[in-house]
Structure 1
Amino acid sequence: MRNTNVCFIHGRIGKDPEVRFLPSGTPVAKFSLCSNDDYFDKKAGRWVEVAEWHDCVVVGDFAEKVAEKYQRGDVVNITCRVKPRSYEKNGQKFKVVEMYVQSMELIAKKGELVRQQSNGHAGSRGNGQPQGGNEQSRDEVPAYAGGYGDEDGGPAF
């Protein structure tokens, strides 16, 4: 059986997607995504919410579309592949974990009200309409045949 590496993240874009190009000419968009986690602090006797930041990468033709459509503050769902990589800079070694986006769904544009339903999923805006109205907002990212820039350890900016 083949191992699976799939992750789903619901969060708010923290940095506008920025497009750059690999030496091969392949577009690559990067942006940060903030999701929230919580835990119960026994000493304080309350739940504590913690922001978690994710470095997201979109490779291929969809990268430019992501940069045009999405912006800081938008609430999205992404399905991604978790890919750690390491690099060296000025003699110091660094390790990063990036989320390679496979699909992306717009839940709300910046400034729109997002209400959580009792089931914990993003729900309606209170007017009976689903998020995004009638617009089809789910975009599929085609698999990048070049291996996401593996020839140089991943796309580095």
Structure 2
Amino acid sequence: MSLNQVVLIGRLTKDPELRYTPSGVAVAQFTLAVDRPFANQNGEREADFIPVVVWKAVAENVANYVKKGHKVAVTGRIQVRSYENNEGRRVYVTEVVGQNVQFLTTPSNGASSQNENSNNRQKSTNNQGTNSAGDGWNISDDDLPF
């Protein structure tokens, strides 16, 4: 038995980037700033900047309702992938594949998006019963935008 489960709460460092694969599957990427639970030697709090990728309806909802600075909770799994860069070197990328994203920013605590105000009841979105590329979505590596 193996387990690969991640739970993160943090703020987006910039607006999500939404793209579509050639076959029309939505994919969004964003970076989540997650505060560390302790201060450094100077007494300052530090954060980790964690790349997150979400697919399908989750990607579209995140792109439509979440902006830079918004707080979200992400559950998913860690994935390591690799590709060959322009110089012919193998590059490894570690990221979280988000399966559920809960929107924690509300209009009363900083959201300014008109869409978010009109859709306040849309608090979370998930890919329940689905997985990322290669785990049942019938998406080939050629379809991936990265």
Scaled by the length of structure 2, what TM-score is found? 0.76
In structure 1, C-alpha distance between the alignment counterparts of 2:101 and 2:18, rounded to whole Å? 16
Q: CA deviation at 1:156?
A: 3.6
In structure 1, C-alpha distance between the alignment counterparts of 2:109 and 2:71, rounded to whole Å? 9
Q: How does 1:60-79 map to 2 (within 5 A)?
A: 60-79=56-75
Number of residue equivalences: 133
- Structure 2: state its 5+ residue gaps: 111-119
Q: CA deviation at 1:5?
A: 0.9
Change in Cα spacing, 1:145 to 1:99, as seen in structure 2 (3 Å) is closer
Q: CA deviation at 1:101?
A: 0.7
Which of these two proteins has the greater Rg computed from alpha carbons? 1
State the Cα deviation string for residues 30-71 of structure 1 (Å, max 9, x = none): 111110114465xx4x64422111111111132112100111
Q: Specify the alignment match of 2:46 in structure 1.
A: 50
Change in Cα spacing, 1:49 to 1:155, as seen in structure 2 (3 Å) is farther
CA RMSD of aligned residues (A): 2.8
Give the letter aligned to residue 137 of structure 1.
Answer: K
State the Cα deviation string for residues 129-156 of structure 1 (Å, max 9, x = none): xxxxx84512222414752676328834
In structure 2, C-alpha distance between the alignment counterparts of 1:96 and 1:146, rounded to whole Å? 15
Q: 2:99 aligns with which of 102, 115, 122?
A: 102
- Structure 1: state its 5+ residue gaps: 114-133
Scaled by the length of structure 1, what TM-score is found? 0.71
Where does structure 1 differ by over 4 angstroms across 4 or more consecutive aligned residues? 38-41
Kept in 1: contact 2:74–2:98 (CA 8 A): yes
Q: Specify the alignment match of 2:76 in structure 1.
A: 80
Q: Specify the alignment match of 2:126 in structure 1.
A: 140
In structure 1, C-alpha distance between the alignment counterparts of 2:85 and 2:73, rounded to whole Å? 33
